[in-house]
Homo-oligomer: A and B are copies of this chain.
Amino acid sequence: MSNITTEQMRFWSPEVRELDPYVPGEQPKIQNLLKLNTNENPYPPSPKVVNAVQAVLAHSADVLRLYPDPDALELKQAIAKQQNVAVENVFVGNGSDEVLAHIFKAFFVQDKPILYPDITYSFYPVYSQFFGISTKTKILPLNENFEIVVDDYKQPNGGIIITNPNAPTSIALGLSAIEEVLQANPNSVVVIDEAYVDFGAESAVALVEKYENLVVCQTTSKSRSLAGLRVGFAVAQPHLIAALEVVKNSFNSYPIDRFAIAAAVASFDDQGYFEAQNNKVIASREKLVIHLEEMGFKVLPSKANFIFASLPTKDAGELATELREKGIIVRYFNKPRINQYLRITIGTDEQNQRLVNTLKNDILN
């Protein structure tokens, strides 16, 4: 934006001139690239997804011209069934990023400060700025092992958001710790962002019935291999879902298109495929961790489809650059505390082996 003049800037809303937007992981188009930088699933979605989209196409002449159901009721029903909650407990959005944005607007525009960890999903500070609450945000440091300090979340606040498993650390918090946070904050909304929960952590959806201040957010982008589709959802008690619906209907009435609804429904209906695939990713993760530790890497204990690893003998930024030169991209965050770590998405066993071989033979030899 360096080519925009001060004079042209007069057209922008003053608060927008101050925004510092999120930067998504790159999506380069390079031959034979091994893309381990944006936590996508190495496996395709359920074959039923393709059938469901084919069924929409078979009626395309009748249906594409018509708006989708603004409530995406069929999708809410499929999610409710799979999550073992009522349809009134489900909110859906155009990817969990949109759901999170609506969550910030619905619950976090408060006089008291919003709490979240110093090392977490880097979109949270962006939402805070977007909704004008960044000066009221209180950033709480993880401990030296990159763990959330539960007692820190027992101070006065206007809302709490915790990624679980956390990103990019990959470390999961148990449900008893989450219950401690919920119980300590009966008057503020506690959001558990579970983008990576299906790779081995415990979901707080089991606590929704018990806690009127809990919102759980999930996505189809990772464990359902549907990053290309943009469907995320939240589970909470109806009085919280209602706030999200008010926000959504004040922003965009029809956020999810007909293909995305049909495809996501098919995915939620295929529980067997979902479980088998996640188990494969988990097994591959455990193998990869062993290989990396053998090479001297320090790997944080992961319950996600990525690991957070550092090599004491080599600068992480340099390592990322050298991997890239060999056609492997991983995510490197040049930020305080974590600038000696790489976030590496779990690939197939074959892909992980390529990473290990490249490190062993080409970079660390």
A interface residues with partner B (beta carbon < 8 Å): 1, 3-5, 8-16, 19, 21-24, 27, 35, 38, 40-45, 49-50, 53-54, 57, 60-70, 94-95, 97-98, 101, 105-110, 126-127, 129-130, 187-189, 212-213, 221, 225-230, 238-240, 242-243, 245-260, 263
Q: Could you give 30 example pairs across A and B, Cβ below 8 Å?
A: A1-B242, A1-B246, A8-B239, A9-B239, A10-B187, A11-B187, A11-B212, A11-B239, A11-B243, A12-B106, A12-B107, A16-B243, A24-B249, A27-B66, A27-B67, A35-B66, A40-B65, A50-B60, A54-B57, A64-B226, A65-B228, A68-B228, A94-B94, A94-B252, A126-B250, A130-B247, A227-B254, A230-B254, A230-B257, A257-B259
In contact, B38 and A61 (Cβ under 8 angstroms): no
Contacts of A263 in B (CB 8 A): 64, 259
Contact of A57 (CB < 8 Å), options: B53, B187, B188? B53
In contact, B246 and A16 (Cβ under 8 angstroms): yes
Complex Cα distance, B59 from A45, in Å, reads: 12
In contact, A107 and B13 (Cβ under 8 angstroms): yes
Contacts of A251 in B (CB 8 A): 97-98, 101, 127, 130
Complex Cα distance, B126 from A3, in Å, reads: 33
Contacts of A247 in B (CB 8 A): 16, 19, 130
Q: Which of A3, A16, A44, A240 has the most CB of B within 10 A?
A: A16
Contacts of A65 in B (CB 8 A): 40-45, 225-228
Q: Which of A14, A44, A65, A246 has the most CB of B within 10 A?
A: A65
